[in-house]
């Protein structure tokens, strides 16, 4: 029940006829894949930009919150330095 030479020739002819169509289909498939990859890459860069903006905003918010605390610590340190010499004298 194997294939005879005539069957093999018909299969070969069908492959030859369809070869161009198959190559074109594969090419279109790769083109669609490339378009999807490009779109995904674009979305990723957009998301990275959003995250970067949020991080920068959070950094600024933290800086705004920490600045008064830092100033208070420096003021307390200055006052402590002013008081200590008076106690030693």
Look at residue 1 and tell me if it is in a domain.
Answer: no
- The reply to whether 30 falls in a domain is yes
The dihedral region occupied by 2, where left means phi > 0, alpha psi between -120 and 50, and beta the remainder, is beta
Residue 4 lies in a domain: no
By residue range, what is the domain housing residue 36? 23-89
| C-alpha atoms less than 13 angstroms from C-alpha of 16 in its C-beta half-sphere | 6
Is 0.85 surpassed by the pTM of this model? no
| Within a domain: 6 | no
**Full pLDDT tens readout for the chain, 89 residues:** 577 888 889 888 888 888 888 888 889 999 999 999 999 999 999 999 999 999 999 988 888 888 888 888 888 888 877 765 555 55
The pLDDT of residue 45 is 96
Is residue 50 situated within a structural domain?
Answer: yes
DSSP H or E segment with residue 75: helix 5-88
Residue at 12 is within a domain: no
CA distance 17 to 25: 14
If one counts the domains in the chain, the total is: 1
Question: Is 79 within the bounds of a domain?
Answer: yes
């Amino acid at each position: 029940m194997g294939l005879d030479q005539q069957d093999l020739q018909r299969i070969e002819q069908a492959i030859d006829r369809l070869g161009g169509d198959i190559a074109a289909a594969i090419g279109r498939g790769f083109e669609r894949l490339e378009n999807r990859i490009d779109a995904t890459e674009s979305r990723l860069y957009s998301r990275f930009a959003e995250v970067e903006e949020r991080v920068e905003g959070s950094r600024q918010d933290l800086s705004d919150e920490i600045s008064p605390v830092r100033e208070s610590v420096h003021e307390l340190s200055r006052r402590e330095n002013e008081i200590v010499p008076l106690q030693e004298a």
